[in-house]
Every structure is written in C-alpha cells, then in structure tokens.
Chain A
C-alpha cells in the first residue's frame, strides 16, 4: 500500500474523516508498536489486543494528538502504554505469570544448529521471564530505551516525565534486570559487586 508523505498528514486526514489514514499509520507503526506491546505483555494475543485497542482509540479520537507535544509514534506509544497499564490493573488479581507457548518472540534464523536454536530459545525465554517480572514502569523504560532505542527526550514525552526521571528509572531497571538475570545464571556478577549492591538496594 502506498504510504503518505508524513505522519502529520495521516493524522490530519484521519481527523478529517479519512479512515484509510488509519491503515497508513498501522503500516508505518504497527510493527514497532507490536514490539513494544510484546515486551510489555505476557502473551502474544494480549499484545496484539493492545495494538488493536490503540488504533481503535486513535480512530475514535484522532483529534487528541497535539503535534507540538511529540511525534505520532510517541503519541501512539503513550496510548498503548496506558492501555497496557489498564490491562494489568484489570488482570492483576488472576493472571498467572506462566507464559503461553506463543509468548516467545519469533526466533531468528541465525542459529546454526538445532541445539543452538534450542539453547537460544531457552535464553530468550528466561530473559523474557525476567523482563516480565520487572515492575511496569521499569519494564516500559527498558522496552523504549534499550529495545526500541528511542532517545531519552522521546521516552520522557511518552512517559510524561522529566528526562532525569527516565535516566534514573532506566538505571534502576537495568540493575534490577541484571540481578534477576544473575540469579538465573544468565549473567556473571562475580566481578560486579557494586552493581549487585545497587540493584538490591
């Protein structure tokens, strides 16, 4: 499908009632939003539901986007983040941490042998489990800064907080994740006592 020239034009078209603009935005950002959502949610189905709900919300109220406050992708990430947060609040009491079989991300094809692929799959699953054990605000900052590699300023806009808060949350999130991965023996912390101390404090 032919993409329009800019996100702003898509938003303008959507605000003018052109529903095809939503498809264009989905083509542009759907994949990245699904990555972010997959890093945040426990199941693939929930991640796709969050993406769908985000675009549904955008379809209902396209006029809430303010170009002066950030990019369209940042706006969509903010909407998705709120959806995920609400989802976890609603599911908090009864959803178990057990992962479905389809929660693992797609495996890359660069594993040379089946044994390598299995080992890598196990590592990935363990890493994902450790990520999902992080508090939501730490998980999202890892997902946006380290996985999506967004600038701190953009992440601050998405999370609606100062850049300094993003930095401190990221620092804390990395420390917590490192400690957790060390407990899973995925990281060797014998030479990093200071990091271990910060992560546990």
Chain B
C-alpha cells in the first residue's frame, strides 16, 4: 500500500507539535508516584515467579495426577473387595436359607409299626390290654412315623383274617 508523505503543512504542524510535546517533562508528582511504586514494590514484588511457576505447576499437576490415580486404584480395590464379599455372603445366604435342590418335600425315611388295638367300653380304639379277658374284636393299626416328626395312621384292619375285607397281607400277631 502506498503511504504518501503527509501534506507539507500537516508535516510542519506535526513536527511543531512533536517538538512541543517533547518539551514536556514528567511532573514531580509523577516522579514521586513512581518513587512510591518502587519503594512499595521492594516489599511486594515476588522474586522470579516466572522461573518457578512452570516447575511448581508441573509438580502440582504430577502430584494431583498421582493422587487421582491412587484414589482410583483404592476405590477400585474397595469396589472389587465389596463385590467379592457380597458374592460370598450371597452364596452363604443361599446355602443357609434355601434348601438344596435334592431335598424333597416328603421325609426321606420312615418306619412302620403295627399296633394291636380294640374298642374300649367308651367306643374308642385303644391299645390292647394283655390282661383283658373279654374277647372283643382286635385290630391292627398300621402306623408310620417319619424322621421329620410326622406321624400318620396308614390303615386299621381287623386282626382276625376272617374279618379281613382284603388288602392287608400281614399275619395277625398273637393276642395274649
């Protein structure tokens, strides 16, 4: 771009104005203010902050990064530990409170008894009294006792085979 010389009159006025400006010197007040600035600055200016600041910044950043990584590792370990503990506790709870799959609803063992019985005078079925002389009708009571504490009567059949209506194949016990 072409920058022409200023108009001759303008150039003359500019030079004159520049000379006039050059005559001006800083006032004593400005000198004093700068002096106070210098005096105050002796106590306030920090020594070489630029030279130290990059090192300090890098050190601070590295320390912060290290802390962040450490905190992350610790947090991860705690989470992992918590998860393992929870899984163990759940497995234990499962073992404790839930029946294993091979347990059936019914008892696994039971035993049968045959109890001789007869009708009493009150009309109830009672165990046979060995000293009883009257010859009332005797019955066999098939009783099943299970290991889960249950007790049930399978059937009641007459002890006299002649009274048997069928189904019972056991021999009548000797009635004393």
A residues in contact (CB < 8 Å) with B: 14-20, 22-23, 26, 30-31, 34-35, 38-39, 44, 48, 51-52, 55-56, 59, 62-63, 104-108, 120, 123-124, 127-128, 131, 142, 146-149, 152, 164, 167-168, 170-171, 174, 177-178, 181, 186-188, 192, 195
Contact = CB atoms under 8 A, between A and B. Distances in A.
Contacts of B25: 31, 34, 106
B162 interface: no
Interface stretch (B7-15, B69-77, B84-92, B129-137): B7-15
For the residues of B in contact with A, the DSSP-based class is helix
A65 to B, nearest CB: 10
B18 interface: yes
Contact of A35 (B9, B21, B38, B50): B21
Given A17-B47, A181-B9, A22 B41 contact: yes
Interface in B34-83: 34-35, 37-42, 44-51
A82 to B, nearest CB: 18
B3 A170 contact: yes
Nearest to B34: A26
A16 B48 contact: yes
Contact of A38 (B4, B24, B47, B51): B24
